[in-house]
Amino acid sequence: MVAGWVDSHCHTHDLDDPASALAAARDAGVVGVVCVGTDLAASRRAVAVASDHAGVYATVGLHPHDAARLEDEWDGLVALAAAPEVVGVGESGFDLHYRHAPEDVQEAAFRRHIGLAKECDLTLVIHTREAWGPTFSVLTEEGPPTRTVFHCFTGGPDDARRALDLGAWLSFSGIVTFAGADDVRAAAAVAPADRILVETDAPYLTPHPLRGRPNEPAYVVHVGAGLAAARGESGEAVAEATSRNARTAFALP
């Protein structure tokens, strides 16, 4: 993989035309994309897209919203994790904003994902929303996998330091460009250069100045610009660092 942008977390497999979105991303200088599964069906789509496109990889997992489906879908996810396109497990963790699944059910699913990431030597992709306490508690008890990514990091500097102390990478989304995201920008400013990633979370969280349209991997360039501004660095420096970090965080070729 040559230097360029890597979208470390997106759901391109859920866009209307993944091939066109990936072509636009390549034209924008995106050289790598990680398509993240949120249930068994979505994980299968992510693997299929990854198998059809160079520089595209997949994760398999069950989103906290759907944690109640763990027993029904787990065996399928475990089998899918062996696919050569798969580089990660998740996104999994806690979402205590919507609480579509009870907290104890989310916790059980999170622990299962941590175990699978360790067993398969895959990267753990964490979703945590309004749940820093439970997330750090489970990670401390279970011990984080060798490679752990906090997707769509929304905490402040203290949360960043706790995640970094666990050896994790912080992945910044379009939120870093939002007017009210001062805490996120402060976290971005204190994170070491070798622990930052950029993502779109497409089709969600479209960055400024493209708000109002569905997000796509090509827009990771705007996320990178926002992260660069928060860190007082050049876009080129952030592109180089985050691309290099993505290769390490996901063990990409």
Find the CATH number of the domain harbouring 55.
3.20.20.140
Longest dimension (CA), the chain: 47
Residue 76 lies in a domain: yes
For residue 137, being part of any structural domain is answered with: yes
- Which pLDDT score, from 0 to 100, does residue 1 have? 41
The answer to whether residue 62 is domain-embedded is: yes
Q: Angle formed by the axes of helices 70-80 and 40-52, to 10°?
A: 20
Task: Supply 119's token pair.
Answer: 């067993």
Q: Into how many domains does the chain fold?
A: 1
Residue 186 has pLDDT above 80, yes or no: yes
Residue with tokens 């759907």: 66
Residue 2 has pLDDT above 50, yes or no: no
Tell me the pTM: 0.97
Q: What own/partner pairs with CB < 8 Å and gap ≥ 24 does 224-227 have?
A: 224/5, 224/198, 225/177, 226/172, 226/174, 226/176, 226/177, 227/172, 227/176, 227/188, 227/196, 227/198
Its domain, for residue 224, covers: 6-249
Residue 1 counted as domain residue: no
- Residue 15 within a domain: yes
Q: 148 in a domain, yes or no?
A: yes
Residue 29 neighbours by CB under 8 Å, 6+ apart: 4, 5, 221, 239
Q: Within a domain: residue 70?
A: yes
pLDDT, tens only, 131-185: 999 999 999 999 999 999 999 999 999 999 999 999 999 999 999 999 999 999 9
Q: How far apart are CA 50 and CA 57, in angstroms?
A: 5
pLDDT band at 253 (very low <50, low <70, confident <90, very high): confident
